[in-house]
Amino acid sequence: MLPGFLLPFALLAAPLSAQVPAQDSRLTNLPHTDTHFSMPVYPTREAWEKRKVVLRRQVLTAAGLDRMPAKNPLHPRIFGRIQTKDCIIEKVLIETMPGYFLGGNLYRPLNGAGKHPAVLNPHGHWQYGRLENQPLYSGPQLGSNLARQGYVVFAWDMVGYNDTVQTPHSFGTPAEELWSFGPVALQLWNAIRAVDFITSLPDVDASRVAMTGASGGATQTFLLAAVDDRVNFFAPVNMISFIMQGGDVCENTPGLRVGTNNVEIAAMIAPKPMIMVSATGDWTKNTATEEFPAIRKIYELYGKAENLETVMLDAPHNYNRENREAVYRFFAKHVLRDPGAAKFREKNAEAPKLQDMLAQFGQGLPAGALSYEQVFAQWKKRPAVAADGLLRVLGAEWPAEVVSDGAALSRPSVGDRVAYSFVEGSGAPALVVGASKKDLPAGRPGLVIEVFGTRDHSGKHFSAFNRTDDQLRVQDILTALAWLHAKYPGSRPEVIGVGTAAAVWTEFAAAVAPVPVKWTANRSAFHGTDEEFLRYFDVPGIQLAGGLALADRLVADRLVAGK
C-alpha cells in the first residue's frame, strides 16, 4: 500500500469513541464580554472571504436586519445654521423609518464649493453624547476641525440620547428579543441610513466617506463596516479588543458574537485603510502585541499591510486631542492624499451652546413621530426572512459529520455530546424526542435522544456569545437526524415530539432539515404567541423570522411535495 493511504486507513480504524467527549463542551465553554479571545488562523484570502460572508450574515441576523427594512425617504430637515470661525454647523433630523427620527449635526467647510470628502461620527457613552466637550472627548472639536480640514461631517445620536428619544437607550425585553428589537438593531439601522444621508448631499463625494467613533461609537463603526461597503476609511478608537467586547446593551445583542469577537469583526474592514487607536488605561492596552498583529495578518492576505496603522497613548479611555490628531493625520494621508499629512494639528474650535446644537430644543418631536410602542409595532410588520434565514436564527447546522460511541452522538469539530439509545428494526427509522424507548414505533429502527438541558447563564451578556438552550435542542435533533440519515441513506426518518416543548423543537428542526423528514407531534397547546415562545421556545429573532407560521408552511410544503 502506498504511504499516502496509511493515514486515512488509520483514521477509519480509530475507535469513534475517541472523538466523543466525556462531557458536552457546551456546558463548559461559555464565553462572555470579558473572555480573553484569540483570532483564528486563515491561511488564504479565499478562506477569509468565505468567513466574511458568514460573519456578515451573523451580524445582520443578530441585529434583525437579515432582511432589511424598506428604505423610506429620509425627509432630511437641515436647519439652524451656525457659522463659526472654523466651519458651518447645522442641525439635522432624518426619518430613518417612517415616524422614527434620528438627530444630529452637520459640520461643513466654510468654503462650500465643489465636492468634499465626508466623515461619519457616531459617539460613545459620554454624558452629553455627540455634544460632549471635555478633555477626554469632544464631539464639537472633532467635527469642527475635520470641517476646517475640508470634510463634511455628520455626527448623530445613539438611541436615547439628545434628539433621538423615541426609545430609551437601554431596552430589549425577552419578548422584544423574539423580534430582534433592541438598541443594537436601531443603531446599526441608523448608521446605514446615516450613510444614505451623507452620500445624498450635493456637496459630498460619495467615493470618499470615512468613519470614526470612540468606545461605543467604535463598536458602531466596525459593525457598520461589517454590513455596508460604502465607507472606505476607518478610525475606530479605544474599542477593538480581545479582552473586553463592550459592556453596554447597545453593543450586545443575542447571537452577535457566537463563535467570534470584536477583533475578527473589525478585521472585516480589510483591506480598506484603518487606524486602530488604543490606550494603556483601558481594554485596548494589548493592541500593539495582540489585536494589531492579528488584524495585520488579514491585511497581509490582501497584500495591503501598509493600509493598517495603530497608535497608543498612555491615557485612560478617551478620544482626546492627541488621538484626534492621529486620526486627522491618518485621514489626511488616505482620504485627502495630502503629502503634508504630518502637519495636521487640532486648533481650538468655537463650540456653540448645547441648546443651539440640539435639533429638538424648544420644539419637540416632529408631527407624525411614533411612540415607543408604535416604533416596536412598526418593526414587527416587516416581511419574514426566507428558510435559510430561519436556519441562521436557529443558530443551527446540518452537521457534515456525526460520530457515536454507542451511548452518545457528537460533532467532532464542536465537542458536544448527545446521549441516546437505539434499537434495530426494519422500515423507516424514527427519532423520538421528549420520551423513552416505549414510545418508539414497534419493529422500526428507533433512536431516542436526550436533548440539551441547561447551564449557568450568569456570564455578562450571555446570549450575545452563546446559543440559547432551545437553540441547542434544535441542533441536537438535527445532529440525530443527520446520524440516522447517514445510517439509513435514502430513507425518510420520522421525528416524533412528545409533549408541547418537544413538539415545537421537533417542528422547527423538521422545517430546516435539508433531507426528507416526516414530523409527528401534538402541538395543540402551542399557537405561536410571544408568551408561548418565551415559555417553550426561547429563540431570539424567531418571531421576526416568521415564527410558527413559517415553520408550519415549511413542514406543510414538504408533506404536499412528498419530501
Which CATH number goes with the domain that contains 544? 3.40.50
Q: Comparing C-alpha atoms, which of 520, 496, 478 is closest to residue 391?
A: 478
pLDDT tens column, 474-502:
999 999 999 999 999 999 999 999 999 99
The pLDDT of residue 12 is above 60: no
Region 68-81: mean pLDDT is 96
The total of other beta-carbon atoms located within 10 Å of residue 17's CB is 14
The pLDDT of residue 239 is above 90: yes
The pLDDT of residue 116 is above 90: yes
CB 498 within 8 A of CB 521: yes
The total of other beta-carbon atoms located within 10 Å of residue 535's CB is 14
- Using 50, 70 and 90 to split pLDDT, how confident is the model at 382? confident
State how far the Cα of 509 lies from the Cα of 474, in Å rounded to an integer: 6
Domain of 195 in residue numbering reads as: 77-380
- Using 50, 70 and 90 to split pLDDT, how confident is the model at 362? confident
Question: Is residue 47 situated within a structural domain?
Answer: no
Question: Is residue 29 situated within a structural domain?
Answer: no
- Dig out the grid coordinates for 354 from the structure: 448645547
State how far the Cα of 328 lies from the Cα of 336, in Å rounded to an integer: 10
For residues 274 and 402, membership in a common domain is answered with no
Question: Is residue 113 situated within a structural domain?
Answer: yes
Dihedral, 83, 89, 95, 99 alpha carbons, nearest 10: -70
- Dig out the grid coordinates for 466 from the structure: 452563546
Amino acid identity for residue 477 in this structure: I
Provide the β-strand partners of residue 107. Answer: 89, 153
End-to-end CA distance of the chain: 43
For residues 353 and 419, membership in a common domain is answered with no
For residues 372 and 475, membership in a common domain is answered with no
Q: What angle do CA 206, 210, 211 make, to 5 degrees?
A: 130
User: What pTM did the predictor assign?
Assistant: 0.94
Question: Is residue 43 situated within a structural domain?
Answer: no
For residues 116 and 259, membership in a common domain is answered with yes
Amino acid identity for residue 225 in this structure: A
Total domains in the fold of the chain = 2
For residues 465 and 353, membership in a common domain is answered with no
For residues 460 and 374, membership in a common domain is answered with no
For residues 373 and 440, membership in a common domain is answered with no
Q: What are phi and psi of 83, to 5 degrees?
A: -110, 120
Name the DSSP class of 180.
T
- Predicted local confidence at residue 563, as pLDDT: 47
Which of residues 154 and 561 earns the better pLDDT score? 154
